[in-house]
Amino acid sequence: MTELPLSGLRVLDFSTLLPGPLAGLLLAEAGADVIKIERPGGEDGRRMKPNWGDVAATFAFLNGGKRSVAIDLKQAGARERLLPLIESADILIEQFRPGVMARLGLGYEELCVLNPRLIYCSITGYGQDGPLAGRAGHDLNYQGEAGILALNTGAPERPQVPPVLAADIAGGSYPAVMNILLALRQREHTGRGLHLDIAMTDNLFAFAFRALAGGWAGGDWPRSGTGLLTGGSPRYQLYPTADGALLAVAALEDRFWDTFCEAMELPDDLRLADAPPDRVIDAIRTLVSCEPAAHWADLFERVDCCCSIVRSLAEAVTSPHFQARGLFDYSLRQGDLEGLGALPVPISRELRRPSGEVRDVAPLGAHNEELLGKS
């Protein structure tokens, strides 16, 4: 097998729940030796339902293929026991509020003296400084602070919670890995590591690129349900079918819109660019509601205009397309227990561990003696 791009690199993962563990998983899939460091008893993510064997299925998803160390960081002597690992590490990921690692004697300023090549990645909600730096929060709070939630909250009487943890994953895990890789490249030139400040809320503003452009360029700040991509356009809209499914219409370009209108036999006056959006949306909604999802699925398999039926997650994982792509050909093992599929990750198959290589979910503290020696 060809050596993986991160083979030979050691990562210490002090993080919990989702953002940091997923970042560590991506590095592990690319060949890094990731050592997960948890408190005795394990992190909270181990106990979130549903279970798979002895641990939460989501914990297994995010931590398969890592080695495990359990240690009380507040206990006298804990830092000294970790020093050999710190001195040999290339990357450290932590997800505490600013200042916590420093109080434990594990802050960047102290560790970079011991290991100048260490790339120290801190993932927080609001960053290492600023008025909100010390505030607690979760994904929903971060999306709210960044103005993302306000772009499409659903009906005022029944606001919708977004289904995607965009701040945790797209604002935390992915930027962390991207910046770690950039820092590794920089280290090749400088010989030194650095402290990466990954603020999940900061990283959400890229998702509002169109809204920001409109607001800054012309003072046109979209509200919920308005705007081309946030519910105000008939060209980018969800339409209920006769049997309760949804038709996703994303016919943004004129050529796709024209094809869609022709397929729907939409009246000529409603096809025009200056037609009132609400009238067009209502007309399309009426047409779509007259037929079941199968009718529209069949039509838009034959008509190429960026329209499709919204699938459930259960339907998506059995899709012939994703099956053919091998997205779910990876698996996890926990002792004698096997059979849980591994989380698909955005790393090219050519750069990650092969699908036939089972990822072991290590018992808590399984590698204490190997990595820390006898206590």
Reported confidence tier of residue 165, pLDDT bands at 50, 70, 90: very high
Report whether pLDDT(1) > 60: no
Q: What is the pLDDT of residue 202?
A: 98
State the distance between the two ends of the chain, measured CA to CA, in whole angstroms: 37
Cα angle 6-9-14, degrees, rounded to a multiple of 5: 110
Closest CA to 42 of 300, 368, 310, 375: 368
Report whether pLDDT(339) > 90: no
User: How much is the average pLDDT of 227-246?
Assistant: 95
Is residue 106 within 8 A of residue 89, CB to CB? The reply is no
Name 87's Cβ contacts closer than 8 Å, sequence gap at least 6: 114, 115
Query: Does the annotation count 168 as an active-site position?
Result: yes
Closest CA to 65 of 119, 27, 37, 9: 27
Reported confidence tier of residue 225, pLDDT bands at 50, 70, 90: confident
Query: Does the annotation count 54 as an active-site position?
Result: no
Reported confidence tier of residue 42, pLDDT bands at 50, 70, 90: very high
| Cα gap 86→80, rounded to integer Å | 10
Q: Report the mean per-residue pLDDT for the chain.
A: 96
Reported confidence tier of residue 375, pLDDT bands at 50, 70, 90: low
Strands (E), the chain: 10-13, 33-38, 51-52, 55-56, 67-70, 91-94, 119-124, 195-199, 236-240, 246-250, 307-309, 331-334, 337-341, 359-360
Closest CA to 326 of 342, 309, 308: 342
Q: Which domains does the chain have, with CATH numbers?
A: 10-200+326-372 (3.40.50.10540), 236-317 (3.30.1540.10)
Percent of the chain at pLDDT exceeding 90? 93
Catalytic residue among 54, 138, 195, 295: 138
Q: Side by side, which strands form the sheet with 91-94? A: 67-70, 33-38, 10-13, 91-94, 119-124, 195-199
Catalytic residue among 13, 33, 139, 168: 168
Q: What are the tens digits of pLDDT across the range 256-315?
A: 999 999 999 999 999 999 999 999 999 999 999 999 999 999 999 999 999 999 999 999
Q: What are the tens digits of pLDDT across the range 51-90?
A: 999 999 999 999 999 999 999 999 999 999 999 999 999 9
Reported confidence tier of residue 223, pLDDT bands at 50, 70, 90: confident
Report whether pLDDT(2) > 80: no
Q: What are the tens digits of pLDDT across the range 107-154?
A: 999 999 999 999 999 999 999 999 999 999 999 999 999 999 999 888
